A and B are shown apart, each in its own frame.
Chain A
Amino acid sequence: MIVERWINWVTLLAFMVVPLWALVTDEPFTITLATRAAILALAAVGLNIALGIGGLVSLGHAAFFGLGGYAMGILAFHAQNYTPLELGPFTTEGTKSMPVIWLTAIIAAALAGLIIGLLSLRTAGVYFIMITLAFGQMFFYFAISWSAYGGEDGLSIYVRNGFPGLNTLVPIQFFGICFVALCLSLYVHWRLRSSPFGLALNAARQVPQRVETVGLNPYRLKLVAFVISAAITGLAGALFADLNRFVSPAMFSWQLSGELIVLIIIGGVGRLMGPVIGAAIFVALEHWLGGLTDFWHIWLGVILLLIVLFGRGGVVGLLTGKAGPHV
């Protein structure tokens, strides 16, 4: 069986080589697909911290993804229309600068994560699943009714936002940005996982009563994990909006929350590269099956069922022959 470390490096390498190859052979669409995969992977890496290490089955992570998306949409919308952005008593301007947008997205998602986490982490098991789902839907319906920002139709941004020193309109450069963000998030996951916090969080998933008897608070550990997780998924949302130059309530949809979990399952829960491999496979399937049939989701459903019923551990589990963490 293959050692996980090898799988990790090969995955990252492949993730770089494919778009570069597409650049050489002049297939910009492949680069766009790779970018999409990188962004979805980023969102799922965020979720994987809560789900894979902390065991928190959140069915509401689209809330954070959507918040990131709307952070981008709203800031860029005001910037492109030269209208002031009124926040209660304050008035500021929109912006087309990616770093500012990212920071906003991260903060907004982290705050939402804090509030949702404070309330929903009081519960566990199915209650937690249902409550996170309900919170996600609240954001969805709010976005639909928020007519100032497009309501049901969403917002279109005409030109992709900028990053100092780069031309983000060139696909490979934008891919580079997303890929670096993905690598950073993986680094965060890796450091977290091997830190005292990660060890305690991982134990809180397995034996919360033990964590309490050594004087630690499982609720707080999980809350912090949830906030970090939300922040990363929020950043992914901002990048996703920039990729499509469009945000809509669909970014808040519960299907998206479900798909993020699906990505992780395909790759391997709690595995560092699980979300990355899962996202790559998901986007490839979407492209390939989607080209064959309009109803590719049926086949996604069937594949997913087979994985759940017969192949826990996902691709990484299959390749390493080791069961992953039990969530």
Chain B
Amino acid sequence: MSTILIIEQVLNGLQFGVMLFLMAAGLTLIFGVMGLINLAHGSFYMVGAFAAAATAGATGSFLLALVAALAAAALAGALVEMVVIRRLYKAAHLDQVLATFALILIFSEGTRWVFGSFPLFLEIPAWLSGPVALPGGILYPVYRLTLIVIGVLVALGLWWLTARTRIGVQIRAGENDREMIAALGVDISKLYTLVFALGAALAGLAGALVGAIQSVQVGMGEPVLILAFVVIVIGGIGSIKGAFVGALLVGLTDTLGGIFLP
């Protein structure tokens, strides 16, 4: 096997990994901060992809499509948090599993209702299509490279957010002691809605970005969700850094395993 192919596959693995990270980051934040296992996280991935595909279809702009994906997923997340999730924070895991399973049913069938059963397609914009020459003479798709960059930027941004900002301090404090930070006057329910919407937006972004490589269809979120769970188990619940390492590990294993294993 040639080195070029291996490097290509490593890059593919990284690209898959950072997209997994976008999913896993939200999940692990939501679990770490609110103690909630959210099966419906894959639905936000799907919502983002559909919103992007619909917007790109109507306006022809990829950037607008991404904005729409972020907005739609964040909105869906905030809404879901306020209507349903908020009642589940103190509930047993079984209740959380069931309620979020119910949300998947509603989101998936709702999307099928609106968009039909046929997959939609999201085109890679002209300015991001085609290959780029990497050092060593390797040709690699610009778009995929962009995904890696976006993923890394988001990871850095999240790290900055949790480690360096006031909201981050509140989030970490909320993990340890809800009552305490509530007593300090932080509006905890607003904070939770915000964190949930942020997680959903990240998932939606991942859905839109990946939607341009794969097809956009109902049920696209769940396989990614399940891998994101694996990522979290590896990285440790609640840890953004763990999620990043875990995601790259799973992404690389999944991609390279496909070639080296029979």
Contacts and interface: CB of A to CB of B under 8 A. Distances in A.
- Direct interface between A and B, CB < 8 A: yes
Contacts of B237: 126-127
A261 B226 contact: no
B222 interface: yes
Interface majority SS (helix, strand, loop, mixed), chain B: helix
Contacts of A57: 93-94, 97
B132 to A, nearest CB: 33
Contacts of B102: 300-302, 304-305, 308
Interface stretch (B11-19, B106-114, B135-143): B106-114
Residue of B105, B113, B232 with highest tally of chain A CB at under 10 A: B105
Contacts of B103: 301, 305
B180 interface: no
B105 A265 contact: no
A57 B97 CA distance: 9
A47 B223 CA distance: 23
Interface in B69-123: 84, 87, 91-95, 97-99, 101-106, 108-110, 112-113
A261 B39 CA distance: 14
A295 B98 contact: no
Main SS class of interface, A: helix
Interface in B213-239: 222-223, 226, 229-230, 232-233, 237
Contacts, number: 91
Interface string A124-158: 01110111011001000000000000000000000
A309 B178 CA distance: 22
B226 A133 contact: yes
Contacts of B192: none
A178 to B, nearest CB: 26
Given A129-B93, A269-B94, A304 B105 contact: yes
A129 B101 contact: no
A300 B37 CA distance: 21
B21 interface: no
B99 A308 contact: yes
A176 interface: no
Interface string A111-131: 000000000000001110111
Contact of B95 (A131, A262, A308): A308
B235 to A, nearest CB: 12
B105 A131 contact: no
B106 A301 contact: yes
Contacts of A309: 84, 87, 99
Contacts of A305: 84, 99, 102-103, 106
A134 B230 contact: yes
A269 B92 CA distance: 13
A305 B106 CA distance: 10
Contacts of A296: 109
Contact of A304 (B98, B112, B222, B226): B98
A54 B203 CA distance: 34
A297 B98 CA distance: 14
Nearest to A55: B94
Given A125-B93, A308-B99, A298 B105 contact: yes
A99 B206 CA distance: 49
B109 A301 contact: yes
A126 to B, nearest CB: 5
B31 interface: yes
Contacts of A129: 37, 93, 97
Given A298-B113, A326-B92, A137 B226 contact: yes
A137 B42 CA distance: 15
Contacts of B94: 51, 57, 261, 265, 269, 327
Contacts of B108: 297
Contacts of A327: 92, 94
Which residue, of A300, A309, A312, has the highest number of chain B Cβ atoms within 10 A? Answer: A309
B236 to A, nearest CB: 10
B87 A131 contact: no
A304 B100 CA distance: 10
Contact of A302 (B93, B106, B232): B106
Nearest to B112: A295
Contacts of B104: 258, 301
A295 B107 CA distance: 11
A59 B97 contact: yes
Contacts of B226: 133-134, 137, 254
Contacts of B223: 137
Contact of B233 (A59, A127, A302, A326): A127
Given A269-B94, A297-B105, A309-B99, A133 B229 contact: yes
Nearest to A257: B101
Interface string B178-195: 000000000000000000
A312 B88 CA distance: 13
Nearest to A303: B102
B146 to A, nearest CB: 29
For the complex of A and B, list the 4 residue pairs with the smallest distance between their C-beta atoms, beginning with the closest: A301-B105, A304-B102, A301-B106, A130-B229
Given A126-B31, A129-B93, 15 more contacts: A131-B233, A134-B230, A261-B98, A261-B101, A262-B98, A269-B94, A295-B110, A298-B110, A301-B102, A301-B103, A304-B105, A308-B91, A308-B95, A308-B98, A309-B84
